[in-house]
Structure formats: C-alpha cells, structure tokens
Amino acid sequence: MQFHRSAHAGSLRPTAANKILDMGADPAIISLAAGNPAPEAYPIAAVQDITRRILEEEPLEALQYSVPQGDPSLRRAVTDWMRSRYGCGREFDDCVIVSGAQQGGDLTARILCDPGDIVLCEEPTFLGCLDAFRAAGARLRGVPMQEDGIDVDALEAALREGGPIRFLYTIPNFQNPTGITMSMEKRRRVYELAVQYDILILEDNPYGDLRFRGEALPPIKSLDETGHVIYMGSFSKILAPGVRTGYVLAHRDLIAQYTTLKSACDVHSNILAQKICYRFLTEQDMDAHLAGLAAVYRRKSTLMLDAFDRCFDSRVTRTEPDGGLFVWCTLPEGCDSQPFAASAAEAGVLVVPGAGFMTEPETISRSFRLNYSTPSDEAILRGMEILGRLTHSL
C-alpha cells in the first residue's frame, strides 16, 4: 500500500550509524559503537527502593496526569542543583522537564527555526541532535573542532558570514563524539560572540558530571547575564537513560514556549520517572555517587586507551578524554572510515564512522568513534585487538 508522506518526512533517511547500532543487538558482535552507561554504573538498588516508596506513599500522584512544564518538586531540585553545583541560573531563568535531552534539542529547533534557517554546529557533533535539527527543516553549518574545543576564529567567520543563524549547538564537556573539552578561554569567547552577534547558544551537557581526570570547568550558562544561553541537562548518564528525563534551563520567555510546544507533543514527561529523579537527586549522596561513576569510567577508558597504544598502527591517532564515554580515532591521510567500519563489522566489531557526525552526512571522514562505557572489559580488549590488526593493513 502506498501512503502519502509530506515532502519533509519523505526526505528523512536512516543514517549509516543507525544501521550499525542496530547490528549491535547480535550477541556475537562486539559493539564499541554504543553510548550507554556502564552496566555496573546503574544504581539499581537505590531505584528499586525509591520506586517502592513512591508507590507506597504517593501512588496516585505518580500515576496521574501532571503538568507540561514538569513536576514542581523536580524543577525546584534541578534549579537548586544547577545553582549550587554549577553557578547557573539568573532571575530571568526558568526550567522545563523534557523526555531526555534529545527532546530538548528537538523542541529548541522547532521553537527557534523556520525551514531554511541556519544552526551552527561543532563539526563533528552528536548525530541525534543533528537529526532533530534536520527534522525541523534547519540548514546545518559546521564549525571545526580543535584540541581545546570549537575553533572560535572559524565560529566568528561563520557569524560574520551571516544568514538567518538561530543558534550555536555545542557540547563543551567530553564532547560526543570526540571526547574533547572546551577550554575556559573558549567558553568565555563563545559567549562573548553570541552576545555580540545576538544569537543563542544551545549548551548540551549530558556528560559533564562524568569527569574522571582534571579540574571541572563551569558551564557557559554560568557566564550568562543576558539570556543568550539555553542549557540542556539529563539524568540519562548519572541515573539511567531509560527514565527519559532531562531538563532545559533558559530565559523564562523561552521556557514558556517550550512548555506550550511540549504539551502538544506528549502532555508531559513520565511523572513516575520524574519522581524517581527527584528523590534520587535529593536523597542520595550525589558526590559519592558521581565519584563512583568516575572510578568506573576512569578504569574503562584507561583499559581502552592502553589497548589502543599497544595494538593500533602508530599512524592512527586518538583523543584522550578527561571524562565522558567516547574516544575519537583518526586514520591516516587518504583513508575513509566508512569502509574501515565495514571491514571491522565483518570481523565482528562495531564502531561508528565519522560521516554520521558531520553536518553533511556524505562527507568523507577519516575518523571513527569508540565507546568504552558499554562493553565488558573482555569485549574492549578483544575488540581493540581486532581493530588494531585492521589498522596495520591500511
């Protein structure tokens, strides 16, 4: 049967990365392509206890409809957390609870962009938000990454070039896919440029609490005295992605628009999950919990990086993240990571080729992303041995 689809819906296609991730369901495959928290990082006992007490103490509130902006207790707790931990939030700011930061990115593009408007993005960057921005009809313009974050000279050149630029999308901490952290100097400069050219910044920080090396840097939002920064946070990496609970902190006038659009999408995010997040955030020793996560990811990243140095051809380079979940590897000049990833899949190992993280998906990229959080130690070691052998035949 033939179904009518809008011209816009008909233009959307599954990405190569999505196809590779689908293959990860095969238990015979070693997947270094995922982005899930480590199995040992889930606070299962705490969530079981919290859920039991919620259903005993406030079952109707947890199972009933709620308000589109989000559970008031969770919004207050998130606002307090952002202010005390990060120094974020001004009198003009407000908060909305969303169904994961992915929904935050989707709503942002639909609120701010008409079809054909421009979104500036770090190049490479998180493919989920690239897809969301494309789905809103935005044109994506990439700004190169450097070892200490976005190339601010290239960013300023893009801003001078002009056009209907609506916002800059950035992941300053342990960026997905590169693992790079933006320096403090660049954070200040990015904010100054946003104010100077009067564009918004969408700051996505799902990995910021997963630092296992070095000193923490404050978010760009902590610098925001003008309302130019929209901050997205998530419980996916510090609690569990299955709760699908994130939040957006931004100027109250924008939050009102998020709330209106969200109510048309899903009425409100899962209220039981919101109550779990509220109790987890306010009842648990978060410093101890985050220290435990850091220990897990420090060990697993070290295992992968040591295996890289031992197994890979010396012509292949990598980043060295100070936190988060990912390592970005780059093949020698003249290579394309797409056929390399295909060869790796045939050998039983999945990686994500770099093209999927580019603003133009047909771009040839020498790079690919590795994930150390999801696979077991044995899978990391075996997978890196297989990949290493392939690099020596390039």
**7-43+288-391: what CATH class?**
alpha beta
Query: The pTM is what?
Result: 0.95
Bond preceding residue 339 cis, omega within 30 of 0: no
Contact 319, 328 (CB under 8 A): yes
According to CATH, the topology of domain 44-283 is Aspartate Aminotransferase; domain 2 (3.40.640)
Euclidean distance between CA atoms 134 and 198, whole angstroms: 22
**DSSP class of 376:** -
Domain ranges of the chain: 7-43+288-391, 44-283
Euclidean distance between CA atoms 391 and 65, whole angstroms: 54
Contact 105, 99 (CB under 8 A): no
Q: What is the pLDDT along the chain (394 residues), one digit of tens a residue?
A: 666 666 666 556 665 556 655 665 677 899 999 999 999 999 999 999 999 999 999 999 999 999 999 999 999 999 999 999 999 999 999 999 999 999 999 999 999 999 999 999 999 999 999 999 999 999 999 999 999 999 999 999 999 998 999 999 999 999 999 999 999 999 999 999 999 999 999 999 999 999 999 999 999 999 999 999 999 999 999 999 999 999 999 999 999 999 999 999 999 999 999 999 999 999 999 999 999 999 999 999 999 999 999 999 999 999 999 999 999 999 999 999 999 999 999 999 999 999 999 999 888 999 999 999 999 999 999 999 999 999 999 8
3-state SS, residue 201: strand
The string of DSSP letters for 224-280 reads -SSS-EEEEEESTTTT-GGG--EEEEEEHHHHHHHHHHHHHHHSSS-HHHHHHHHHH
